[in-house]
Structure 1
Amino acid sequence: MLFDNIKELCEKKGVSVWKLEKDLGFSNRSISKWNETDPGIRKVQKVADYFGVAIEDLLE
């Protein structure tokens, strides 16, 4: 669910997941792996800040 919400925000903003990872200094494909593993709260907060949304919006 988290990855799907991030992917949807990327599409709305015209940003690829790869670019998001690069802009935030994350390793390649790290966000894609969030379908299988739980990221740390700091990384989720960075993504939320990038898009100007609350963490809760990413987790719904």
Structure 2
Amino acid sequence: MSLYTAVKKVAGQNHKSIYQIEHDLQLSNGMISKWNKSMPRADALQDVADYLGVTTQYLFNLARKEQ
């Protein structure tokens, strides 16, 4: 599973869309979807993790576990 997919899964559990996260955190449109193929900036990933109420380590572990 990619990091994007892990974020999407946790977002769904919190009843949030990727668009809503990007909008609320004032991230550029499509930024999180780019995490499907590339590593995010540390500050952006931390902001998303905080928003979702999880740690960055949790997101990485979730992404790695599903591979």
Do Structure 1 and Structure 2 share a fold, with TM-score over 0.5?
Answer: yes
Please name the residue that 1:28 is paired with. 29
Unaligned runs of 5+ in 2: 62-67
Flag the structure with more relative contact order, 1 or 2, with Cα contacts below 8 A and sequence separation at least 6: 2
Shift >3 Å, 4+ stretches: none
Root-mean-square deviation (CA, aligned residues, Å) is: 0.8
| Unaligned runs of at least 5 residues, structure 1 | none
TM-aligned CA deviation for residue 37 of structure 1: 1.5
Q: How far off is 1:39 after superposition?
A: 0.9
Q: Are residues 1:45 and 2:46 paired?
A: yes
Q: Equivalent pairs: percent with the same residue?
A: 37
TM-score, normalising length: structure 2: 0.83
Q: How many pairs were matched up?
A: 60
SS at match of 1:53: coil
